Structure 1
Amino acid sequence: MKSIAILSGVALAALAGCATPPTPRPMAHAQLEAKSGSAIQGRVTFAPHGEVTVVEAHIGGLTPGEHGFHVHEGGDCSAPDATSAKGHFNPAGKMHGHHHHHPMERHAGDLPNLVANAQGQAHYRAEVKGLVLKAGPEGILERSVVIHADPDDYKSQPAGNSGKRVACGVIKPI
């Protein structure tokens, strides 16, 4: 009987080691507002996880396909076209670039494109370096997250040729 209990304990420990690590608890979120005549709705969360920030989004009302997705400088989504959100968050003054580049070689707000399915829904998760969940010049709190109508090409300046801004939400601490 004792050997069965030991084997059960070993099996449980092995299974626990194979488990997917839990998603970090969100520390900030943005509730998206539809802009530029879109019907987009959803929520984006941000959570620190070691040297990265985990960005998760659940969004509906998109056109199918890829959409540029960025953290913007301004924490204001009041303009009907979200121009009040200003340009990409770029505290280091770098050129727009691919999100895989080192954070000191691109805008800190450059994120991977969102991809919406045929029903216009996107379920997104990315681990991003260079986003800091604090207020102030280096942080993203009280800034905004913006979805664009078109995909980011990761090279055109200053914003990746992503088209009009179709959703915007202010990033607030939880």
Structure 2
Amino acid sequence: MEEEPETMIEKAVAVIYPTEGNDIEGMVTFTQTEDGVRVQATVSGLVEQSLHGFHIHQYGDCRASDGTSAAGHFNPMDMPHGSPTDDDRHVGDLGNLPTNEEGVAEIDYTDDVVELNGPNSILGRGVIVHAGQDDLETQPTGAAGARLGCGVIGVANPDY
């Protein structure tokens, strides 16, 4: 019997739902490119002209009303917390979402640490949007505060 080739995931998506008492919503897509994984996010219902911590968390579990069931940042290589441009950082450290005057955040960049395939894949993990700014230094979380929204990263239809 022939072994089937491993399916390579090319695109993933997380729909962000608000935690209890919050009104945010959004979508994050992760697309494999030659240079890494392209991270694109649009999140609305945030404080206008502010920064909000944005992370991939250990578990794709948004059952807790405050998002804590997603646990801490996804950090399979046991690195310190940092910025998405740091060499040593959690896989889940995506930095901050900057909002405009309507409280909508949009981000689009390519990340060379995030993986859709392999042992450090982000599939099935959680995406959390925080109430405050990630200071990119405080260990192990960046002191970004409460969790405003949570979504689970799943395999996306590459044609959609």
**Structure 1: tracts of 5 or more residues without a match:** 1-25
2:124 counterpart letter in structure 1: E
SS of aligned partner of 2:94: coil
2:130 to 120, 127, 148: 148
Name the structure 2 match of 1:81. 66
Per-residue deviation, residues 67-89 of structure 1 (Å, max 9, x unmatched): 00000010101111100001001
- 1:43 and 2:30 aligned: no
**Structure-2 separation of matches of 1:172 and 1:29:** 5
Choose 164-173 or 27-36, whichever is displaced more.
Answer: 27-36
Task: Classify 1:45/1:172 alpha carbon distance in 2 versus 1 (closer, same or farther; 3 Å).
Answer: same
TM-score normalised to structure 2 length: 0.87
Name the structure 1 match of 2:6. none
Question: Within 5 A, what are the aligned runs for 1:101-140?
Answer: 101-102=86-87, 105-134=88-117, 137-140=119-122
Alignment check: 8 A CA contact 1:36 1:165 kept: no
CA apart distance, 1:36: 4.1
Number of equivalent positions: 146
**Structure-1 separation of matches of 2:100 and 2:74:** 27
CA apart distance, 1:137: 4.2
**Structure-1 separation of matches of 2:107 and 2:84:** 15
Greater helix share, structure number? 1
Query: Which consecutive aligned stretches of 4+ in structure 1 deviate over 6 angstroms post-superposition?
Result: none
SS of aligned partner of 2:110: strand
**Percent of matched pairs sharing the same residue:** 42
Per-residue deviation, residues 57-111 of structure 1 (Å, max 9, x unmatched): 1111011210000000101011111000010010000110121112xx1101101
Please, what is the CA RMSD of the aligned residues?
A: 1.2
SS of aligned partner of 2:69: helix
**Structure 2: tracts of 5 or more residues without a match:** 1-9
Per-residue deviation, residues 101-132 of structure 1 (Å, max 9, x unmatched): 12xx1101101210111211112112112111
1:39 counterpart letter in structure 2: D
SS of aligned partner of 1:68: strand
2:154 counterpart letter in structure 1: K
Greater strand share, structure number? 2
Question: Within 5 A, what are the aligned runs for 1:154-173?
Answer: 154-173=136-155
**Structure-1 separation of matches of 2:86 and 2:26:** 27
1:119 counterpart letter in structure 2: E
1:52 to 36, 41, 50: 36
